[in-house]
Structure 1
Amino acid sequence: MLSSHIMLTILGVIFGLAVSAGTFAFLLVIGVVPRMVGKSNTASHAIFYENAIILGGTIGNLLSVFPDIRIWLGSPLLIVYGLCAGIFVGCIAVALAEILNTFPIMYRRANLKMGLSFVMTCMAFGKACGAFFYFWNQMGEG
Structure 2
Amino acid sequence: MLGIIGLAGGFAVGSAFVALLIVLDLIPRLVQLTRAYRRASIFESGILSGALYWSSADLFDWSFQLPANLLLLPAIFQGLFVGMFAAALTEVLNVIPIISRRFKLKPYLLSLLMAMVFGKVAGSLVDWIWLHP
TM-score by length of 2: 0.85
Q: Which has the larger radius of gyration?
A: 1
Counterpart CA distance in 1 for 2:55 and 2:108 is 40
Counterpart code for 1:20: G
Partner of 1:63: 57
Structure 1 residue 82: deviation in Å? 1.5
Per the alignment, in what secondary structure is the counterpart of residue 111 of structure 1? coil
- Seen in structure 2, the aligned counterparts of structure 1 residues 39 and 106 have a Cα distance that, compared at 3 Å, is same
> How do 1:55-94 and structure 2 match up within 5 A?
55-67=49-61, 69-71=62-64, 74-94=67-87
Aligned length: 133
Match of 2:48 in 1: 54
Corresponding residue for residue 34 of structure 1: 28
Name the one with the larger helix percent: 2
Q: 1:71 to 1:15 in 2, by over 3 A?
A: same
> What does 1:8-19 align with in structure 2 at a 5 Å threshold?
8-19=2-13
Over the matched positions of the two proteins, sequence identity in percent amounts to 32
* Helix, strand or coil at the partner of 2:71: helix
Two-structure CA RMSD over aligned residues (Å): 2.3
Which amino acid in 2 is paired with 1:92? F
Specify the code of the residue in structure 2 equivalent to 1:9: G
Which residue in 1 is equivalent to 2:127?
A: 134
- Select the structure with the greater relative contact order (CA < 8 A; seq sep ≥ 6): 1
Structure 2: gaps spanning 5 or more residues: none
Secondary structure, aligned partner of 2:113:
helix
Q: Which runs of 5+ in 1 are unaligned?
A: 1-6
Which secondary structure does the structure 2 equivalent of 1:108 belong to?
Answer: helix
Q: TM-score, normalised by structure 1?
A: 0.80
Aligned residue for 2:104, secondary structure, equals: coil
